[in-house]
């Protein structure tokens, strides 16, 4: 058992962690790593193998889908596209597509941020507050920023696309029919109603059970963002919730991807009363124990619990998404599920960003008496 893991004191009042996904900061954690840079470069090299004309056609098709289907931009609306030097091609494609609908479209290129959640420059934040539609293909996420919050409060509908590149923009999850994903998620609303017990197993060794509040399933990550104050991230396609605090017990074997890496060796999380008490799985596990442990030493016991709390569970519903080692897409893959550890939003500044998200490639998911996924196969269509 990890010595640095905090435990909840007996009789201590439970405080449910907050969740403001759709693009939790864990999705982007690996973008800070050199390996993430290398992966991005490799993806760009791959897409350069097609002709320039074909690349432009694909970019324009994807951009048209985003502005018409996802954002439902209307004539005369104030539209802002925010990009950075790593995403100018995507920003330009979105600008050209939106400009054909509204002549009040602006494209702004801001300096590349240093980490997710960093506030954009003041002039960009001021512009965001004045828009009805904001699209933000940037290297690092703007979702959890005051600028995004203020724009939403003023009525903007916003799509963030953190870590986006040309390959992700034109292939995989971005090629799905988001209208159909919205309909599937809506259908799941009645399917999940009044079911509180969840169990996940897998041939890799996962066997974990917990409770949820069926009213708190988040079913907004459909990719359709057509009403004021809506926020989505693209590609979309997942349903997620907060496990009831203290209810989760068992073992989770992460055998798909973890943050920005495809795993060559599974990670095993041992969970007691909703808290991860040990992590095993070679060097990756050692790195997690070390990084979380160093932060935990500086926290109070209650804060240590938050650091190691299993704060989110979800499953993917995007049929075109692929397991590629990029959580922006990985956690949306149809037939997979994921767990996030670390409720960083409630922690002191020194611990914020300490969150890991791991994807199970072929789980069996049972909610109540309903088997929703079996060995990676989504079963709802068979009902």
The pLDDT, as a whole number, for residue 20 is 47
- pLDDT, tens digit (0-9, with 9 covering 90-100), for 37-58: 444 444 443 444 678 888 899 9
Least confident of 39-48, 146-155, 198-207, 244-253: 39-48
Percent helix, percent strand, percent coil in the chain, to nearest 5? 35, 25, 40
Once rounded to an integer, what is the mean pLDDT over residues 343-361? 68
Give the pLDDT band (50/70/90) at residue 143: confident
Rounded to whole angstroms, the Cα distance separating 363 from 203 reads 8
Rounded to whole angstroms, the Cα distance separating 140 from 255 reads 26
Once rounded to an integer, what is the mean pLDDT over residues 17-33? 42
Once rounded to an integer, what is the mean pLDDT over residues 137-154? 92
The pLDDT, as a whole number, for residue 358 is 94
Is the pLDDT at 91 greater than 80? The verdict is yes
Among candidate residues 169, 172, 219, the one with its CA nearest the CA of residue 193: 219
The pLDDT, as a whole number, for residue 343 is 62
The pLDDT, as a whole number, for residue 23 is 44
Name residues whose C-beta falls within 8 Å of residue 359's C-beta, 6 or more positions apart in sequence: 254, 256, 257, 258, 323, 327, 330, 331, 333, 336, 337, 338
How high is the mean pLDDT of the chain? 85
DSSP of 68-131, one letter per residue?
A: IIIS---TT--EEEEE-TTSHHHHHHHHHHHHTT-S-EEEEEPPPPSSTTPPPPHHHHHHHHT-
4 CB neighbour count, 10 Å cutoff? 17
CB 347 within 8 A of CB 354: yes
Q: Which two tokens stand for residue 61?
A: 């098709």
Domains of the chain are: 50-170 (3.40.1830.10), 178-382 (no CATH)
The pLDDT, as a whole number, for residue 261 is 83
Name residues whose C-beta falls within 8 Å of residue 197's C-beta, 6 or more positions apart in sequence: 209, 211, 367, 368
- pLDDT, tens digit (0-9, with 9 covering 90-100), for 311-324: 899 999 999 999 99
The pLDDT, as a whole number, for residue 39 is 42
CB 338 within 8 A of CB 358: yes
Once rounded to an integer, what is the mean pLDDT over residues 205-221? 95
Q: Which two tokens stand for residue 303?
A: 């804060």
Rounded to whole angstroms, the Cα distance separating 330 from 219 reads 18
Give the pLDDT band (50/70/90) at residue 347: low
Q: Which two tokens stand for residue 34?
A: 């050199």
Counting residues of the chain whose pLDDT is more than 70, the rounded percentage is 83
Rounded to whole angstroms, the Cα distance separating 280 from 35 reads 22
215 CB neighbour count, 10 Å cutoff? 10
Is the pLDDT at 306 greater than 80? The verdict is no
Phi, psi (deg, nearest 5) at residue 278: -160, 150
- pLDDT, tens digit (0-9, with 9 covering 90-100), for 239-287: 999 999 899 999 999 999 998 789 999 999 999 999 999 999 999 999 9
Is the pLDDT at 2 greater than 60? The verdict is no
Token look-up 């973890």 returns 258
The kind and range of the H/E element at 295 are: helix 282-296
């Amino acid at each position: 058992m990890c010595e640095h893991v905090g435990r909840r004191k007996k009789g201590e009042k439970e405080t449910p962690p907050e969740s403001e996904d759709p693009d939790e900061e864990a999705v982007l954690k690996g973008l800070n790593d050199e390996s993430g840079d290398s992966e991005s470069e490799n993806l760009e090299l791959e897409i350069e193998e097609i002709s320039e004309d074909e690349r432009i056609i694909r970019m324009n098709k994807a951009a048209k889908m985003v502005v018409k289907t996802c954002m439902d931009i209307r004539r005369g609306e104030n539209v802002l596209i925010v990009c950075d030097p790593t995403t100018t091609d995507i920003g330009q494609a979105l600008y050209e597509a939106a400009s054909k609908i509204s002549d009040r479209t602006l494209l702004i290129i801001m300096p590349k941020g240093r980490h997710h959640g960093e506030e954009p420059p003041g002039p960009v934040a001021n512009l965001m507050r004045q828009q009805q539609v904001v699209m933000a293909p940037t290297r690092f996420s703007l979702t959890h920023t005051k600028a995004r919050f203020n724009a939403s409060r003023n009525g903007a509908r916003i799509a963030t696309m953190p870590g986006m590149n040309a390959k992700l923009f034109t292939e995989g999850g971005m090629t799905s029919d988001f209208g159909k994903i919205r309909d599937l998620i809506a259908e799941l609303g009645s399917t999940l109603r009044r079911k509180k017990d969840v169990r996940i197993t897998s041939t890799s060794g996962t066997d974990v059970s917990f409770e949820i509040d069926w009213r708190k399933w988040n079913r907004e990550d459909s990719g359709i963002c057509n009403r004021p104050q809506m926020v989505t991230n693209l590609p979309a396609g997942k349903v997620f919730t907060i496990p009831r605090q203290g209810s989760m017990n068992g073992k989770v074997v992460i055998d798909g991807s973890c943050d920005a890496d495809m795993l060559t060796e599974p990670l095993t999380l041992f969970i007691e009363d909703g808290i991860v008490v040990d992590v095993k799985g070679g060097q990756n596990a050692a790195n997690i124990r070390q990084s979380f442990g160093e932060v935990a030493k500086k926290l109070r016991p209650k804060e240590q619990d938050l650091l190691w709390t299993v704060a989110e569970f979800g499953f993917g519903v995007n049929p075109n998404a692929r397991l590629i080692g990029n959580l922006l897409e990985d956690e949306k893959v149809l037939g997979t599920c994921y767990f996030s550890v670390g409720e960083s939003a409630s922690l002191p500044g020194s611990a914020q960003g300490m969150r890991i998200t791991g994807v199970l490639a072929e789980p069996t998911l049972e909610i109540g008496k309903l088997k929703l996924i079996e060995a990676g196969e989504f079963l709802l269509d068979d009902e």
